[in-house]
Chain A
Amino acid sequence: MRIIVPIKQVPETSAVRMDEKTGTMIRDGVEAIVNPLDLYAIEAALLLKASQPEGQCEVIAVSMGPPKAQSAIREAMSMGFDSGVLLSDKKFAGADTWATSYVLAAAIKKLGDVDLIICGERATDGDTGQVGPGIAAWLDLPVGSYVGKIDGLTDGRINVQRLLEDGHEGLEVQLPAVLTVVKEVADPRLPTLRGKQRARKAELTTWNADDLNLPDENLGLNGSPTRVVKIFRPSVTRECEKLIATDDQSINTAADRVLEFLQERELV
């Protein structure tokens, strides 16, 4: 069995500072980490691997990014991944979710024999949550999104529970398939010293646009239908109504007003 986990290297968000003029993130000196939500996908893949007989399941990390994104792949390997592929080419720069999922799908196709693709719910920087389902669309595979629990694998099918706003939805999905997972799915393990040592020595595969045999017009900014026109902070306006109650009479008046306020909005 072969499981592929696409991951993204993102800026560590606890230390992020914004450029007030441009509205963009100042990336200088900001630590790059594996997208925290991808760690749940990594853990889910490792748990599935552990549930299979020894040597029967291979887990591979794939990441599109600049050369330094190889440290994200090595982090996945230090947690227990078998190998990783970095997709790196200047032509990939500026890709939106359409062009990103296009390249990732091409790499997954090239790797071949894939049974399951597990993605994090979304990346903490772009925050779209579109790449996982995008990969499924490019590969014409079924997708189970917002998976909170993986119940098990049987006969070429996987049973999962999707986390919905009003409960859980059980799905039985035919493999190969794409899952996007949420935090509830598993608690990520920490990398070990032995894992780190193994990951540091490992040879990583790097593929560029030519290796994937992809036409330029579908890549990066050229291949992205999304255009960022303007970045701005939304202005939040709150119209606050303050009631001060100090004695019986004003408490009654205030209570009446609160009730009226809620009734106006059909909340009671």
Chain B
Amino acid sequence: MTSMQQDYNPVTQQIADELKGIVGDRYVVYGDAEKLEPYSHDEIVERQYAHPAEVMIRPRTADEIAAIMKLANRENIPVTPRGAGSGLSGGAVPICGGIVLLCDRMNEILEIDTENLMIVVEPGVVTADINEKLSGTGLFYAGYPMSLETCYVGGNVAENAGGGKAIKYGVTNRYVLGIEMVTPTGEIVQYGGKLVKDVTGYSMAQLMVGSEGTLGIFTKIILKLLPAPKASVDLLCLFLTADEAIAAVPKIMTEAGLTPTAIEFMDRAAVKAACEYLNETIPYENAGAMLLITVDGSDAQQVTREYETIGELCLANGAFEVYVADNHTTSERIWSVRRNIAEAFAIISPIQSNEDLVVPPSKITELQAELERLAEKYNILTPCYGHAGDGNLHTRISPSPDMTRQQWDELKPGMLQELYETTNRLGGHVSGEHGIGHKRKEALKIFVDEPTLETMRAIKRAFDPNNILNPGKIFDV
């Protein structure tokens, strides 16, 4: 790591033994490269972003984590907190070695508070389990990251996960009311609480949302719940071209005057990859792009009216078929196509640049046009998918099949520079929901000015004077 200014101490056998003393022998892995390998990377496909940990530890309590952090500060050893490892920016990768602190044992749903419409969870709870647990209560948690069957809610909070339902329900930060965490120096603190309103000092809980594991290790999270919608319908709209599909998106909100729960865009390459991966037989051959649109509400008739309006609008704007999924089985069938695109691409092309650009929703056509321009100019593939309704477009830029690795490596920096500059000009940012991690550290500088970066560094130094917790992420201190 060339940008690291800091030398850390290695994890010795003696330190490993001390860690075992804190959590118990069976919850520490040390000196076994094979067993440590899974904790050296997240879901980023390129191996250049991986780095091995020296020791992996699985604490169960806040007190144990506090003891680990105190030891780490005393011994000058970096600590990288880790959830399910489903991140896409390297946030959970121990790039300076040291300790990986896994949250998987802290996986209890502690309280469902139906009087306050809140839930208290530990960070290692799998996101999808929250709504499973809530079924029958009439309540639901609105977070819907695409990896919800595997990711942990602690990671969702650390990355301020967005996902598929952001146009209507917003992203994770809207639901985080309180956090108990261990600070980088090993103090256990409580921020926020079961309070819908709270201006008692800085909003520390919100500062933690999206802090990418650099400011604290969460041990309890209080989330706001909503009354569960009673009806939900998904439309899968097939368009001949990506341009027509993208152009229909703003019309749904401006012309129809409706706010769907989700508007997901998938271009031909994305749909084909996912359908082949899933053995799905939705007739995608003629579709240049698809929109997956979800409408939900408290009244089935209203939902029917809304989906008919949106479906008709899509048909009038170039869609040649609109499929309707109004029950769990068909809905899951459609959504699993969308959710499996990333995994499908990871298998197709091991060389790719996975971008998470976000622009004002009205600029998404211009961003799409820029990607097409770059595809032609550099002879590359720019398969596109994402949350078109909220301006967050994912693309897995990859070399064309006839390109050598060297050619790709040579063109990539210049191509990305052009893409980022256009995004910036459109008023956009480099990451909508995946985060900066160490992967987008350089790109961050295009989008965030130096005084702001210096403020961020000052916040980091205030929490973590020894730069022990997840060093080298977002920016260099």
Interface residues of A (CB under 8 A from B): 12, 14-15, 17, 29, 31, 33, 36, 78, 187, 190-197
Contacts and interface: CB of A to CB of B under 8 A. Distances in A.
Interface SS of chain B: helix, strand, loop or mixed? mixed
B324 A33 contact: no
Given A29-B136, A190-B236, A193-B308, A36 B329 contact: yes
A193 B315 contact: yes
Q: How large is the interface on B (under 10, 10 to 19, 20 to 34, 35 or more residues)?
A: 20 to 34
B139 to A, nearest CB: 13
Interface of B: 135-136, 235-236, 281-282, 308, 311-312, 315, 321-330, 332-334
A31 B308 CA distance: 21
Contact of B311 (A17, A31, A193): A193
Given A12-B328, A193-B235, A187 B323 contact: no
A187 B281 contact: yes
Contacts of A33: 327-329
Contact of B308 (A15, A29, A197): A197
Contacts of B315: 193
A190 B325 contact: yes
A12 B235 CA distance: 20
Contacts of B281: 187
A191 B330 contact: yes
Contact of B322 (A14, A36, A187, A192): A192
B296 to A, nearest CB: 14
A190 B324 contact: yes
A9 to B, nearest CB: 11
Contacts of B326: 191, 196
A195 B281 CA distance: 19
A36 B332 CA distance: 13
A193 B323 contact: yes
Contact of A78 (B308, B324, B329, B334): B324
B328 A191 contact: no
A205 B308 CA distance: 25
A196 B327 contact: no
A190 B235 contact: no
Contacts of B325: 190-191
B172 to A, nearest CB: 25
A172 to B, nearest CB: 28
Q: Give the 8 A-B CB pairs with smallest separation, nearest first.
A: A193-B322, A190-B323, A187-B281, A193-B311, A33-B327, A196-B324, A12-B328, A191-B324
A193 B327 contact: no
A194 B332 CA distance: 21
A14 B330 CA distance: 12
Given A12-B328, A190-B334, A191-B323, 16 more contacts: A12-B329, A14-B329, A15-B135, A31-B327, A33-B328, A33-B329, A36-B329, A190-B324, A190-B330, A190-B333, A191-B325, A191-B330, A193-B311, A193-B323, A196-B324, A196-B326
